Amino acid sequence: MQKSFTDKSKVDEYDLKEKLWRTLVTVNILEGLRFYVSFACSFAFGELKLMEGSAKIISFISRDESQHLAVSQRIINNYRGPEKDKVMDKVIKNNEKYVAKLYDDAVAEEKRWATYLFSKGSMIGLSEKLLHNYVEWTANRRLKSMGLKPIFDIPLANNPLPWTAHWLSSKGLQVAPQETEVESYMIGSIKQDVRKDTFKGFQL
């Protein structure tokens, strides 16, 4: 006979919450660390007044990632504080080394990507070494935000690429009107042929 998924007696609470915690951390890494080497490279072109349109589009993507990061960060911090979940507290404590290893592996992969990108030279304001430092600095920030100790020897107070900040912030980016989508036009195109009695008699 097939086991019922609603039978809670068959579910190990610790095992379930450990999987949940590890998933949250993985999402946190995906949204808060992956692609940041590529983001920085795109922003560097924008800083040099090259391919500015592309840099601005990438900035929209990076800010979207930041919103996703904020969601996972909020859930993580709730488990560390307001939830007062004793089982999850034990899971978090027991997985500190596992989480540190996940971040270390992700940083190593981003650094390998930076090394490949700059294997034939550097560009003004950016280099392989600066990108390596930037990824480590970013990882330290994410770990500290989770209440964990930074694992890389780089000060949190010093952003190796301070000029990336305004590209990651919606307040620091000026966008030309011709480079934005006109939402009012899009909404009008959808609604213009919908009349008051269009759905008259419609039933669910």
What are 31-88's pLDDT values in tens digits?
Answer: 888 988 988 888 888 888 888 888 888 888 888 788 888 888 888 888 888 778 899 9
Which residues on neighbouring strands pair with residue 126, listed in sequence order?
A: 123
Asked if the model's pLDDT at residue 201 lies above 80, the reply is: no
Q: How far is CA 55 from CA 101, 181, 185, in A?
A: 32, 16, 25
Q: How far is CA 90 from CA 38, 85, 124, in A?
A: 36, 9, 47
- Return the pLDDT at 188: 45
The closest of 135, 76, 147 to 103, measured between CA atoms, is: 135
Q: State the CATH class of domain 12-174.
A: mainly alpha
Q: How many residues are listed for the chain in this entry?
A: 204
Return the minimum-mean-pLDDT range out of 69-78, 91-100, 137-146, 171-180.
171-180
Question: Tell me: the pLDDT tens digits for 157-192?
Answer: 889 898 888 888 755 444 444 444 444 434 444 445
